[in-house]
Chains A and B, each alone.
Chain A
Amino acid sequence: MNWFKQLFSRRRLYDDLSEEIHEHLEEKIEELVASGMPRKEAAAAARREFGNVTLAEEDSREVWRWPLIENFLMDLRFGLRMLSKNLGFTAVAVLTLALGIGANTAIFGVVNAVLLRPLPFKQPSRLMMLFEGIPKLGFPKMGFSAPDFAVFERAQKSFESVGVYQNKYFNLSGDREPDRLMAARISSSVFPMLGAEPMLGRRFTIGEDAPGQNVVILSYGLWQHRFGADPGIIGRNLELNRQPYTVIGVMPKAFDFPLRGPQGSEPAELWVPMAFTATELEGWGTNYMNGVLARLRPGLAFQHASAEAESLSRSIGSNYPPELTKAFQGAELKVSMNSYHEEVVKSVRTLLLILMAAVVLVLLIACANVATLLVSRAASRQKEVALRTTLGATRVRLLRQMLTESLLLALIGGSLGFAFASWVKTLLLSLVPESVPLPRDIPISGSVIVFVLAASFLTTVLFGLVPAFQVSAMALYGPLQEGGRSGTPGRLRHRLQGFFVTVEFALALVLLIGSGLLIRSFAKLLETNPGFRPDHVLTLNIPIPSERYTQATKVRQFYEQLLDRAGNIAGVKAVGLTSDLPLNGCGTIAIQIEGGRNTGGETPQAICQTWQVGNYFQTLGIPLLKGRSFTLEDRIDTQPVAIVSEMAGRQFWPGQDPIGKRIRWGVYTPWQTIVGIAGDVNDEPLGQPVRLHVYRPYLQMADLFFEDSRFGEVRSMNLAALSQTDPASLTSAVIGQIHSLDPDLAVAHIRTMTQVISSSVAGPRFNTLLLGVFAGVALFLAAIGIYGVMAYAIAQQTHEIGIRLALGAQPRNVLQLVLRRGVRLAGVGAAFGVAAALALTRLMAGLLYDVSATDPVTFSCVVILLLAIALLACYVPARRAMRVDPMVALRYE
C-alpha cells in the first residue's frame, strides 16, 4: 500500500481496529459469562487479560503512521493549546526570549557584516594595505607621500598591482545649488585590483593617471538622486570645483570604496583619477596622506611580501633630497604592511565583540528566566503528567512533549525577535556616530537567518531541558501520587529555581560592571579640561575653491573681509579663523629649533601646526600665558612669528624663556620668532594625549602654499564666533555675510563648539549607551526572575508561613525569612559575577579612559545596586507573605 492511499484509508483502518478490539473483548466476556462468571467480573477479567486497551490501540495505529513526525505535530498542537490557555505565562516567556534573541540577531547581523564577512572585493584575502611611518617622531603609521609612492610602485616585486587613493571633497555645482561631496582620487589600478566593474561606462585608463584629464565615475547613489538615474549620463559634463568633468562611468549599487576605517577613509560618492601633479611628485617629506592598496602575487606568502615592503624603506629614503635626509637623520622612514580586512575592522573589533558578548549574556539571562518560569509551571502540571504516565506515556515521550513546547516558545520568541532585530538594527545604525567606522546599511543575510534559527534551538535546549527532565522525573514518583507541596520534587524545584536565579544575577553583574566601567570612563572623559571654553561659540567651515581664487592675495583678502564683516554682526563679541578647530586633529609638521640640539642634523620635532587670524584665542577662551597674540599687522612682509603651546615651550627650551627663540618648519622656510605662549589645548578627540602645538599667523603664509594643491587646508579655514547669546542664532547672519562676499560659496560643518565636543566623544558615548542599555535589560530580567521565584515560593509556602504565624512568629520575622533567601541567592550570584567580571573586564581595557578595568569603586557600586534591586524585587512578595492570615493558611490543608 503506498503512503498516499494509506493517508486516505486511514480513517477506515482505525475504525476497523476499534471495532475489532471491541468485539474481541465482547467475545471474551461472553465466553467467561458462559463459563459461569458474573458479568461484571467477566468484564474486568477480560480487560485484565487484554492489557492496556488505549495503548494497544495507539500502538496499532502507530504502525500506519510516521510516528516521529506525527507525534511531533501532535505535541505541537497540544503545546499551542497549552500556551494559549496560559496567556500570561506565554506572553512573559515569549517577550523575554524575543528580547534576548532579537538583541543577539541585531548585533550578530552587524558582527557578521563587519567582522566575519570577507570584504566585498575580488579575492579579498590577497588585498593588503601599506603604510609609511616615522616611529621616532611619534608616527608609527601614516599614508604614503606622492613621491614615496612612485618609488615604491617602481621598486616593489611582491605585488601584482598597487594602487593609491585619497579622499577629497568636491563642490558639485551647475543648474542646482552646490553640493559638497566626498570624493576619492584613485589611480587607474584600483578598480581592476578590487575586481570592480562599472555598471555603465568604463573604468579609468592608465593614460588617465597623467594629470589634466577631467573624467569622473559616479556612485550609484549619486547617479540615482542627483541625476535621476539618467541612462544617458555617460559623456555628460559636470562642474566639479568649478571645472568641467566628463562622466565616464557609474558604479553598481553595492560598490563602496574607500571602506571606512583605515587612516580616516570614507566611502566616496564619486571618483576622479589620482593623477599626481608634478608639484605633488616633488613634495618629498610632506603630505603622507595617500592610502596605498596592493594585491599579493599569487602564491606569495604574507611574511615574504611584508619583509620586502620593509626592506624598501631604505630605497625610498635614499631618494630624498640630501638636505632633508640630513635634517631627518635619526628619524628613519619605515614601510609596513597589513591585510586590508584587518585595517578595516580593527578599530571596531573590540567594541563589536564586547557587544556580542553582552547580548549573549542577555540571552542567557533570558533563558534562565524562562527556565524558572517553566520550573514553576511544571509544578502545576504534575497531575497532567501523572495522568499521562498512567495512560502509558513513556518518559522519553513526556520529555519530547515538554521540549516541543519549549521549542514552540523559542520559535515564537525567535520570530518576534527577528522582527524586533531589524528594528533594533535600524535604530543602532542610526545612532552610530561618524567616528565609528561601521557600514551604514547592513542587509539581513542568510547567515543571520541561520543564526536566529540556531539561537532559537539552542535556547530551547538551554531553558527547556532541565525543566523537561524535571517534569519527566515526576513520572517516576508514581502516578497520581498526592502531595504537590512537599516531598522531593518540591525541593528539587526549589533548588533548580535558586540555581537559575543565581546564574541570572551573576550574568547581570558582569554586564553591569562592564557598563559601569564605561560610564565612569565616559564621565572622566567629559570632566577633562579641553583647554578652551566651548560655551557660546559658533563654528563653520568655508572652503575657498582654488579655481576661482587663484592668487594668494585674493584668498587672504576674502578671509580678511569676512573677519571684518563677521566681527560687526550684532551680538558677536569676538571672531577668529583657524585652519583646524580643537578636537578635530591637526596638520603635523616636523620643525627645527635654532641653536637646539637638533639643528645640527639631529632628530627634528613633530608638532601640530595651525594657522590663524583674528581674535582666535579670545574667541575660544584659550589663555595666552605670556607674550602677545597675533595681529593683522603680522603680514607676509613683516617678521615671521609664531606662538607655541605651554608644553611645547617647556619641552623645546627647558628652563628658558621661549619668547624670542626661533624655530622653522622643515628646512625650506624662514626662521620664525616666538612671540607668545598659549595654554595647552586638546587637538585630538578628548581622551587622547595633548600634543605639542605651534600657531602661525595666516596672513604670513607664503604665496606658494596657496598655489600648491597639496596645501588644501589653507583654503579651508574655520570661522569661530563668540556670541553673547545662543551661538546657533548667529548662523544665518554669518552665512549672509559669507554670501554677500561670494554667493556661490558652500559652507560646511556648521556647529557650536559644544557640538564639536559632543561629536568628539560620540564614539565613547555610543559604546557607553549600548552597553548600558544591554546591562539595563539584563538587570530588569534578573529582577523579574528573582521576583517570580520569590512570589512562587511564597505562594507554595503559604501553609508553612501560616503555621509560623499561628505559633507566634511576628510578621517581621516572616519578612526577614523571605528577604534572607532573596539576598542569599542574589549574593551568591553577585560573588560569582564579581569573579567572572574580574576575569572578563580586562578585555575591554582598550575602551576605557582613566579607569582601571578592575576599578573597585565601580565594582562595589554595582554590587550594591544589584543587591538593592534584589531586595526590592523580593520585598513585594515578602509583604504579601507577611499578610498571610494564619486561619486561611491552615484551612487550606
Chain B
Amino acid sequence: MKKPEQRDLFPGALEMMILRTLKRQPLHGYALVQHIKRTSNDLLQIEEGSLYPALQRLLKEELVKAEWAVSSTNRRVRIYRLTAAGAKHLQRQVSSFERMLEGITRVLTPGES
C-alpha cells in the first residue's frame, strides 16, 4: 500500500501547497485543508489525514511553527504560521517547480522546434 499523498501528488507537492497557503495567512489544520480543497476546485483528491504527517515534517524542519489558540468559533485550534526559513524554502520550491513545469510543457507541446 502506498501513502495517499504519493498516489495523487508528486513528493513535496502537498508541503508546497501548505507553505503557499500559510504565506497568505496563518491557519489551523482544518481550515488549511478546506482552503486547499476549495482553491483547487476539488480537483486534488487529498485525504484530509495526510495533511498531518506533512505538517509534522514542516514543523520538524522548522519551516512552520505552531501554537495553540482559541478560534472564532470558540474551538481550541493549533495555528500554523510560516517562518522566515519557510518563506525562503517556498520561494525556492516554487521557482524550481515552475522550471520543471515549463520543461514538461515544452515536451508535451507538439511541433515548434
Interface residues of A, Cβ cutoff 8 Å to B? 1, 16-17, 19-21, 23-24, 26-28, 30, 49-53, 55-57, 59-64, 392, 394
Contact = CB atoms under 8 A, between A and B. Distances in A.
A50 B48 contact: yes
Contact of B52 (A17, A28, A49, A64): A17
A56 B76 contact: no
A63 B48 contact: no
A63 B29 contact: no
Contact of B1 (A26, A56, A57, A394): A394
Contact of B48 (A16, A19, A24, A57): A24
Interface string B80-110: 0000000000000000000000000000000
B62 A1 contact: yes
A60 B49 CA distance: 10
B20 interface: no
Contacts of B29: 20-21, 24
Nearest to B48: A50
The 4 closest A-B pairs by CB, nearest first: A56-B49, A51-B47, A51-B49, A59-B53
B4 interface: yes
Nearest to A19: B76
Contact of B53 (A1, A27, A56): A56
Given A20-B78, A63-B57, A51 B48 contact: yes
Contact of B49 (A1, A55, A61): A55
Contacts of A27: 30, 73, 75
B60 A64 contact: yes
A50 B49 contact: yes
Given A23-B77, A392-B1, A49 B56 contact: no
A20 B53 CA distance: 12
A76 to B, nearest CB: 24
A52 B50 CA distance: 9
A50 B50 CA distance: 8
A454 to B, nearest CB: 34
Given A21-B52, A49-B48, A63-B57, 6 more contacts: A20-B78, A23-B30, A23-B77, A51-B47, A60-B52, A60-B56
Given A23-B30, A23-B75, A51-B4, A17 B56 contact: yes
Contacts of B47: 49-52, 56
A839 to B, nearest CB: 47
B97 to A, nearest CB: 22
Size bracket of the B interface = 20 to 34
A52 B56 contact: no
Interface string B19-52: 0000000001110000000000000000111101
A601 B91 CA distance: 107
Contact of A62 (B53, B59, B77, B78): B53
Contacts of B52: 17, 20-21, 56-57, 59-60
A16 B80 CA distance: 13
Contacts of A53: 49
Contacts of B68: 16
B78 A52 contact: no
27 contacts: A16-B66, A19-B76, A20-B78, A21-B29, A21-B49, A21-B52, A23-B76, A23-B77, A24-B48, A27-B30, A27-B75, A28-B48, A49-B47, A50-B47, A51-B47, A51-B49, A51-B50, A52-B49, A55-B49, A59-B50, A59-B53, A60-B52, A60-B55, A61-B56, A62-B53, A63-B60, A392-B1
A272 to B, nearest CB: 76
Contacts of B48: 24, 28, 49-51
Nearest to B55: A60
A61 B56 CA distance: 8
B30 A1 contact: no
Contacts, number: 69
B4 to A, nearest CB: 6
A891 B4 CA distance: 45
B73 to A, nearest CB: 8
A57 B3 CA distance: 13
A252 B55 CA distance: 68
Contacts of A62: 53
A9 to B, nearest CB: 11
B56 A64 contact: yes
**Which of B56, B57, B76 is the most central at the interface, judged by chain A CB atoms within 10 Å of its CB?**
B56
**Which of B28, B49, B52, B59 is the most central at the interface, judged by chain A CB atoms within 10 Å of its CB?**
B49
A49 B37 CA distance: 12
Contacts of A1: 60, 62
Contacts of B1: 392, 394
B40 to A, nearest CB: 15
Contacts of A63: 53, 56-57, 59-60
A307 B18 CA distance: 83
A394 B29 CA distance: 27
B44 to A, nearest CB: 13
Nearest to B29: A24
A18 to B, nearest CB: 10
**Which of A19, A55, A62 is the most central at the interface, judged by chain B CB atoms within 10 Å of its CB?**
A55
B1 to A, nearest CB: 5
Contact of B3 (A17, A26, A49, A59): A59
Nearest to B66: A16
Contacts of A16: 66, 68, 78
Nearest to B68: A16
A243 to B, nearest CB: 85
B53 A60 contact: yes
A630 B96 CA distance: 111
**Which of B28, B48, B50, B66 is the most central at the interface, judged by chain A CB atoms within 10 Å of its CB?**
B48
A794 to B, nearest CB: 37
Contacts of A17: 52, 56
B8 to A, nearest CB: 12
A20 B28 CA distance: 9
A61 B57 CA distance: 10
A254 B76 CA distance: 75
**Which of B1, B28, B50, B66 is the most central at the interface, judged by chain A CB atoms within 10 Å of its CB?**
B1
A733 to B, nearest CB: 89
Contacts of B57: 63
A56 B55 CA distance: 11
A783 B4 CA distance: 50
Contacts of A21: 29, 49, 52
A63 B62 CA distance: 13
Nearest to B37: A49
A153 to B, nearest CB: 77
A59 B60 CA distance: 13
A392 B50 CA distance: 14
Contacts of A28: 30, 48
Interface in B58-75: 59-60, 62, 66, 68, 73, 75
Contacts of A49: 47-48
B79 to A, nearest CB: 11
Contacts of B73: 27, 30
B24 to A, nearest CB: 20
A57 B50 CA distance: 9
A388 to B, nearest CB: 12
Contacts of A64: 56, 60
A90 to B, nearest CB: 31
**Which of A21, A53, A61 is the most central at the interface, judged by chain B CB atoms within 10 Å of its CB?**
A21
Contacts of B78: 16, 20, 23
A51 B53 CA distance: 13
